[in-house]
Every structure is written in structure tokens, then in C-alpha cells.
Amino acid sequence: MNESSHPLSVAVLGGTGREGKGLAYRWAKAGYRVLVGSRSADRARAAAQDLRTMLGGGAHVEGLSNQEAAQRAEIVAVTVPYAAHRETLESVKEFVQGKLLIDVTVPIVPPKVTRVQMPPAGSAAQEAQQILGAGLEVAAAFQNISHEHLLRDQDIECDVLVTGTSQQARARTLKLVEAAGLAGWDAGPLENSVVLEGLTSVLIHINRQYGSTHAGIKITGVHKT
């Protein structure tokens, strides 16, 4: 899992939420140093304590404010609801420059959660880049994964499409996908994030239409070498 000789550190902003907590769990389990971030450092510390209890000794999970988590991590994942997306990014802008930011946000606008509604930037991930500027790499991933599955040690029957501002950004993100126990695919430039984010509305629609709860996707017809 290392990119260099030490365990890589990953901040999970909004890591007290269900999706973020699930990713934090999987990454800490894989040996990453996980910095759970929240607007409230107290809530982040409580979530980190929960995760350490689940994971047992040896796991590195700390709870911090979003700002401190972003500042201390090498890679920063954003797992906040879309309503908190802009504010969260603006609050960590100075701390993420030169790093890799992985945006997990789905720009769902209740009540029409089964209808694709993208922000003017084209997608939440492109909006993140607009807010944060060109001084960092941005990737998008994990939009279609059910948070309920992440916190359990069971196989997840849904692939993860990864977009990003460079091949290197996508490759680094794909390592985190694998570390989370998932199958990932390089899905191209950040402009393609609209597909990943929009697919969440499509899958929610399919769940309602067909009476299911965990619709996902798999890429077919490709054998990874």
C-alpha cells in the first residue's frame, strides 16, 4: 500500500458520516494512517474511537477537525453531503494544495434524488477543482458504493469508476480502491465525473423501480492484465 517507505496518510473529511466512516474503516484496516475529519473535532474523535474499537490494536485512526486532518494528510478524501461541499472545500483550500483530493460527493438535490442534477461546473468533482484551483490533483470515486457494505467485511458487488486530472491521480486513487477491497477502473479525465455522480441517481431509480436496495454496476468484457 505504500507509495514510499512509510504508511500513507489519508484524511477523510466528513468521516463521521456513513460513507466516510466506511471508507475510513476499510483504509485503516489495510494499514493506512487514517485521519477522520469533521467540522466538530469532538465528533471526529468519537468516530475514530469507534473505528479503533472495531479494528482492534495496530490500526491508526485519529479524529481531528477537517482543517487539521487535511493539513496533516498526504491524500484528502471528501465525503460530505453536497450541501456542505463548497463550504468544506473552502475551509481546507490552503491545506490541500499540492496534494491529491478524492471527491466522493454526489450532487444529489432532494427531493428529486432519482434525477441527475449537476452543478454548473459539470459535476461536483469539477466544482471542487474550480473552488480549489489548479494547484492540486483532483480525482472522483466511490459515488456508487453502498455505505452499509463498507463497514462490513463482505464482498461488494459494485465496481468503482475513477476519474481524475491525470493518469497519476487516477492510479493513486485506484490503489485506495483496491485497499478498500473493491475493483476499480480508470474511467478517464475529470470531465467524466458526471457519469459517476449521475449514475448514483440512476441506481437509486433502479432500486425504487425494481424493489431492490443495493443496485450497483460491473464493467464487463475486459480482462485486466
Residues that bind its own copies (CB under 8 A): 114-118, 157-158, 161, 185-189, 191-192, 194-195, 198-199, 201-202, 205-207, 209-225
Of 31 and 122, nearer to its own copies (C-beta) is: 122
Q: How far apart are CA 88 and CA 79, in angstroms?
A: 10
Q: Which is nearest to 139 in space by CA: 212, 216, 191?
A: 191
**Which set of grid coordinates corresponds to residue 136?**
492540486
Closest approach of its own copies to the CB of residue 225, in Å = 7
Of 97 and 167, nearer to its own copies (C-beta) is: 167
Q: How far apart are CA 196 and CA 160, in angstroms?
A: 9
Of 54 and 116, nearer to its own copies (C-beta) is: 116
Of 39 and 205, nearer to its own copies (C-beta) is: 205
Closest approach of its own copies to the CB of residue 167, in Å = 9
Q: Which is nearest to 35 in space by CA: 61, 17, 74, 55?
A: 61
Closest approach of its own copies to the CB of residue 176, in Å = 18
Q: Which is nearest to 127 in space by CA: 191, 218, 200, 176?
A: 191
Closest approach of its own copies to the CB of residue 201, in Å = 6
For 82, counting Cβ atoms within 10 Å of its Cβ (0-12 exposed, 13-18 middle, 19+ buried), the class is: middle
